[in-house]
Amino acid sequence: MLKQVTQIALASKAEQVVVVTGHEQHKVQQQLAHLPLEFIHNDEYDSGKASSIGKGIRSLDQSVRGVIIMLGDMPLIETQHLNCLIDRFEALPEDAIVVPYTSEQRGNPLLWGCSHFGALRSLTGEQGGKELLAHFSSKINYVALPSSAIHMDFDTPDSLLSAPHTELIRRQFPLLAQQDQSHALCYLDSSATTPMPQVVLDTMYQFETGSRSNVGRGSHHLARRADQAFDLARQQVASYVGAASKEEIIFTSGTTMGINLLASSLAQEWETGDEIVISKAEHHSNSLPWISLAKRHGFCLKIIPLLAEGRLDLSKLSSIIGPRCRLVAVTHVSNVTGAISDLTTLVKAAHTLGAQVLVDGAQAVAHGPIDVSDLGVDYYVFSGHKCYGPTGIGVIWGKLGALNKLKPFFTGGGMVHSLDLASLSMTIVKGTSRFEAGTPPIAQAVGLGAALQWLSQLPWAFIKQQQGFMCQYLLEYLMLHDQIFLLGPHNNEARQPIISFTHTQHHAHDIVHLLDQHGIATRGGHHCAQPLMQHFDVMASTRVSLGVFNTMTDIKYFINSLQQAITTLEA
């Protein structure tokens, strides 16, 4: 836990990181020995935390303008949180105090300007920095950090792994509260569809009962409210994926529609013999549109092969992506194996030869905010129902320059300035509207915006750590079982919490059916990824996919129920 906290601090913009040790000094130093830290020992740690604060402050260089007092029991604080405090302090005087807050209350850590170092040194006993805030209230500068991480501390690593706030997250999902066949619902099918938290349901209900109207056309007050809600949703989506502006966000009905839309629009600019590259790991929604397109227009489809574990084999990329390649279309995360694709290598290879990169992000968006500029891709496509939003809504993110060059492939209301039947001419509008002909899925877009806003505020460092632990536990169990064959990576590196397996004697449908008797929702079948299943030489597999609400209790219950299901089938 302490290691994580120090690594977060080291990755921040702070110029110096000092660790004040007390209890178990040598053990702590040994654990952190490989990190570029400065250690100060406080012999009087028994007297309370004030002595540790004083020791730390005294150790600082004279030139230090401010200090963040970070507590070792807050491992969910993220580097970006610290950078937000530092950025805010840059333009402030030396007597400023920067305090993070959420809409509910003040949190930790605080950044103290050097004018307060004397006061901090004079604290006694169990006094902390917060005791001084009342004296210097006029110096407080608040920074909004919309993350519950700033309120969470943990006394032991065990308390971190069974943190009560996972239960708080879970309670936000009405779907998960139900009892199914005398068992509490254990939902392990988030890769197919995620449940919706109450805030999304409320937002959609409020929209439908208070603002339902069409967008972009009406001038009455409901239409104005609907326009505002729709615009806000587009902005919320843009923020979640790190788009440069909301003009880069196109709403669709889902990933499948998004990829088909892009395929048909892009094809208008391509010539016979041009090449499209996909991988063998794609969901049918990112293979069938390109296969159809290639057949219809005479394009050449090239396939990236797979390594034994199902990851993309990029070793022969130079022979696959050639000068006539126009697009590389790959999945970000496999919907069967959970493997994360090496987009950096793919983007470099494609862009070097002038090809664009489209990423199917359907299985990635639910696992934390995306930064499309960091990924360096040209198009990113995903669905709402796989990231805690409603069904019937999806998103295309595209670089503005790339989108502006695309011609729309379907036409209808709201996408032209003028239409003249005599000359059969039309003037198509600029911006996202030209790809959203007809009435868009408005309430669904509003719901998706709320879902992504909600997701962006979750403590991702904690969730990723906990999901990694659960994933590892399940992988280790499955690998120990002689008759179970694991599809995909056998380790926990570069993967999301999606695990598929087959049993040598029992079909996935039978296992999934019997798990359902225990109230467990999983998925069995080919997962619309038949080429990937052929790679593993199987017809169907059982898939377990985790959401932000799952706990170790779910995993242990699943393992126990799987054993019972196998016993039933073998009886």
Partner 1 sequence: MSSHLYSDAIKQLARAQREQTPLTQIDVKTTLDNPLCGDRITTHIKLKEGRISHIYQHVQGCLLCNASANILTRLAIGRNQTQFEQGSRHLAEFLNSSSKYLPKPWQEFSMFEPARYHKNRHTCIELPLQAILQSLE
For partner 1, the binding residues (CB under 8 A) are 181, 506-510, 513-514, 516-517, 524-526, 530, 533, 539-540, 568-569, 571
Q: Whole-angstrom distance between the N-terminal and C-terminal Cα of the chain? A: 46
Q: Which of 114, 300, 387, 528 is catalytic?
A: 528
Q: How far is the CB of 517 from partner 1 (least distance, A)?
A: 5
Q: Are 444 and 390 in contact (CB under 8 A)?
A: yes
Which helix (H) or strand (E) segment holds residue 108: the answer is none
d(CA 348, CA 342): 11
d(CA 508, CA 518): 16
By beta-carbon proximity to partner 1, the closer residue of 160 and 514 is: 514
**DSSP letters spanning 478-489:** HHH-TTEEEES-
**Beta carbons within 8 Å of 418's beta carbon, 6+ residues apart:** 426, 427
By beta-carbon proximity to partner 1, the closer residue of 245 and 530 is: 530
By beta-carbon proximity to partner 1, the closer residue of 450 and 511 is: 511
Name residue, tokens 């079948």.
Answer: 525
By beta-carbon proximity to partner 1, the closer residue of 106 and 526 is: 526
Q: How far is the CB of 462 from partner 1 (least distance, A)?
A: 36
Q: What is the DSSP letter of 139?
A: G
By beta-carbon proximity to partner 1, the closer residue of 472 and 530 is: 530
- Encode 360-378: b = buried (16+ Cβ within 10 Å), e = exposed: bbbbbbbbbebebeebebb
CA 141 vs CA 95, 102, 183: distances in Å: 11, 13, 50
Strand ranges for 284-355 from DSSP E? 300-304, 325-331
Three-class DSSP labels, 148-185: HHHHCCCCCHHHHHCCHHHHHHHCCCHHHHCEECCEEC
By beta-carbon proximity to partner 1, the closer residue of 372 and 540 is: 540
Strand ranges for 332-459 from DSSP E? 356-360, 379-383, 394-398, 416-420, 425-428
What's the token pair of residue 258?
């998004």
By beta-carbon proximity to partner 1, the closer residue of 245 and 563 is: 563
By beta-carbon proximity to partner 1, the closer residue of 389 and 524 is: 524
d(CA 247, CA 431): 6
Q: What is the dihedral of CA 475, 481, 487, 492, to 10 degrees?
A: 20
By beta-carbon proximity to partner 1, the closer residue of 83 and 517 is: 517
Q: How far is the CB of 510 from partner 1 (least distance, A)?
A: 5
Q: How far is the CB of 420 from partner 1 (least distance, A)?
A: 46
What is the SS3 assignment for 270?
coil
Q: How far is the CB of 257 from partner 1 (least distance, A)?
A: 20
d(CA 278, CA 201): 36
Bridge partners (DSSP) listed for residue 98: 111, 141
d(CA 321, CA 308): 21
Q: What is the dihedral of CA 345, 350, 351, 357, to 10 degrees?
A: -90
Q: How far is the CB of 540 from partner 1 (least distance, A)?
A: 4
Q: Does residue 528 carry a catalytic annotation?
A: yes
Annotated catalytic sites, by residue?
A: 528
